[in-house]
């Protein structure tokens, strides 16, 4: 009879249930999920759109420093009305007027960055048709060149040339940061589902083990080897295991939906492969910090913020209420009854003027603006210095955290192996009658908790790894900077 029991035990446990995978199940690794999120997620599309927007803003800025060519005119300029005409005796008479006053001009301009002024040129032609008197008159400027220079004013072009390239470089690195942040988030949803699947596997295995142990216990109860209380305890454990399977299935469905939603994955069952920890990767805090300062958008932003504060000081000093503009223009012009006459021996045209607008009394407004801008500059310097310290501390802390996660991963893997072996021994001892049901339950719980702790350690390790990539924009595994096309 004893030999029969052992043979039956072996047959029962050889048919233990495990986590099964159907043929149409999609098997994914952590790297697969991260790559899909970078290609298909809404976050990736938003990052790409933001990058394109910043690119066209950069192109718009660049165009301000290129020659501008403009065509303008009034074609036609027909008018039929009554016009006010002053008579020789001082009275006013309204006379019918019917004419066409058309004009066209072609002009170019080129900004001068160092001075803030601009060089311009133009050619103009005007035709006046008096239909009442049946006459035509042309007036034109074959060509004219000039220069306009603001005096004692803020030079926007010079400061934009310093700041806009920083903003564009910052936007390019911000795009890379956005993509790496997607890796961090994708890693989180991956391990949410992996933990749910592991919990389901544990629950199904425990349910199967409990059923099998209950069957063996029934045989032992019939032989008088165990008490009714142990049978009831096993039946209770079976109900708990069955309930755990239902909860685990629910969690798998929720986690699967979240992963599909974030990665843009279609319908179908998903089976995740548990990744291994790259515990051989060594990351030096100095290396990570140097790469962060070389690659991060925040590092560029430190320089840009100080430059913007200094620009505001220059603008406050320049916009002090004194508006003066020097304009010089040289060219030729002529009027004629014929079109060709406008271009035949035109007369020279000259213009030199300085326009002034000087406030006499502003009650300290200009000085207040200048003092405010200087105070803001000092505040920005302090704020940037504090942010630099936080920036460096965050990198160093993350490197330390990554090293801790490597150690924890090694320990939890060893603990998982020990707990699994301990459970197998406990199960055999119980079946042989050398262990109580309480000790068997403890072995169950320790095995399950060790497996969950290992998955949690994997999650923490890979989360720390991707977070460190995000903070430094550097691939420490391949020893190269992270770039995207």
Instruction: List, for residues 261-298, the tens digit of each pLDDT value.
Output: 999 888 888 999 999 877 677 889 999 999 999 999 99
Per-chain mean pLDDT for the chain: 86
| Angle at 235 (CA atoms; ends 233, 238), nearest 5 degrees | 110
The model's confidence at residue 66, banded by pLDDT at 50, 70 and 90, is very high
pTM of the model: 0.81
Q: Within the chain, what is the greatest distance between any pair of CA atoms?
A: 144
72-76, 305-309, 344-348, 399-403: which range is least confident on average?
344-348
The architecture CATH gives domain 2-61+159-308+373-481: Up-down Bundle (1.20)
Average pLDDT of the residues in 179-193: 95
Nearest partner of 319 among 263, 359, 280, 278, judged by Cα: 359
95-109, 371-385, 427-441: which range is least confident on average?
427-441
Residue 301 · residue 170 · CB < 8 Å:
yes
Tokens of 290: 């140097």
**Cα–Cα distance, 409 to 463 (Å, whole number):** 12
The model's confidence at residue 21, banded by pLDDT at 50, 70 and 90, is very low
**Cα–Cα distance, 312 to 154 (Å, whole number):** 10
Nearest partner of 332 among 342, 321, 319, judged by Cα: 342
Tokens of 160: 């934009």
91-100, 355-364, 404-413, 448-457: which range is least confident on average?
355-364
**Cα–Cα distance, 58 to 457 (Å, whole number):** 44
15 pLDDT exceeds 70?
no
Taking only the tens place, the pLDDT of each residue in 31-53 is: 999 999 999 999 999 999 999 99
431 pLDDT exceeds 80?
no
- Looking at residue 226, the DSSP 8-state letter turns out to be S
DSSP H or E run through 75:
none
* Number of other residues whose CB lies within 10 A of the CB of residue 133: 9
Higher pLDDT, 278 or 479: 479
Residue bearing tokens 């058309």: 102
């Amino acid at each position: 009879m004893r030999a029969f029991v052992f043979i039956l035990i072996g047959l029962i446990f050889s048919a233990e249930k495990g986590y099964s995978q159907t043929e149409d199940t999609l098997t994914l690794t952590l790297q697969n999920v991260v790559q899909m999120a970078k290609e298909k997620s809404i976050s990736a599309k938003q990052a790409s759109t933001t990058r394109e927007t910043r690119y066209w803003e950069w192109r718009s800025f660049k165009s301000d420093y290129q020659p501008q060519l403009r065509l303008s005119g009034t074609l036609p300029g027909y008018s039929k009305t009554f016009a006010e005409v002053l008579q020789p005796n001082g009275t006013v008479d309204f006379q019918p007027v019917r004419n066409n006053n058309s004009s066209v001009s072609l002009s170019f301009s080129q900004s001068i960055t160092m001075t803030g002024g601009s060089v311009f040129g133009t050619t103009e032609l005007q035709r006046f048709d008096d239909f009442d008197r049946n006459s035509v008159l042309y007036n034109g400027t074959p060509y004219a060149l000039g220069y306009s220079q603001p005096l004692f004013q803020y030079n926007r072009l010079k400061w934009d040339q310093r700041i806009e390239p920083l903003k564009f470089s910052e936007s390019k690195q911000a795009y890379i940061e956005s993509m790496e942040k997607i890796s961090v988030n994708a890693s989180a949803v991956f391990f949410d589902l992996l933990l749910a699947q592991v919990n389901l596997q544990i629950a199904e295995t425990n349910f199967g083990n409990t059923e099998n142990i209950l069957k063996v216990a029934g045989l032992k109860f019939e032989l008088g080897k165990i008490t009714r209380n142990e049978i009831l305890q096993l039946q209770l454990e079976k109900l708990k295991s069955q309930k755990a399977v239902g909860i685990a299935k629910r969690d798998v469905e929720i986690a699967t939906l979240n992963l599909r939603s974030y990665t843009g994955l279609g319908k179908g069952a998903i089976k995740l492969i548990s990744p291994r920890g790259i515990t051989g990767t060594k990351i030096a805090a100095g290396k990570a910090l140097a790469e962060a300062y070389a690659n991060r958008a925040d590092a560029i932003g430190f320089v840009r913020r100080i430059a913007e504060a200094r620009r505001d000081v220059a603008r406050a000093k320049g916009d002090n209420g004194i508006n003066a503009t020097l304009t010089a223009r040289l060219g030729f012009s002529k009027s004629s009854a014929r079109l060709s006459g406008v271009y035949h021996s035109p007369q020279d045209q000259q213009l030199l003027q300085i326009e002034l607008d000087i406030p006499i009394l502003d009650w300290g407004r200009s000085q207040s603006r200048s003092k405010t801008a200087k105070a803001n500059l000092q505040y920005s310097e302090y704020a940037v210095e504090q942010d630099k310290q936080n920036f460096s501390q965050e990198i160093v802390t993350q490197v330390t955290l990554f090293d801790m996660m490597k150690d924890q991963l090694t320990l939890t893997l060893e603990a998982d192996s020990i707990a699994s072996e301990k459970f197998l021994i406990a199960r055999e001892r119980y079946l042989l009658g050398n262990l109580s049901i309480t000790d068997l339950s403890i072995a169950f719980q320790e095995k399950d908790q060790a497996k969950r702790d290992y998955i949690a350690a994997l999650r923490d390790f890979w989360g720390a790894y991707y977070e460190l990539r995000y903070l430094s924009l550097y691939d420490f595994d391949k020893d190269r900077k992270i770039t995207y096309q």
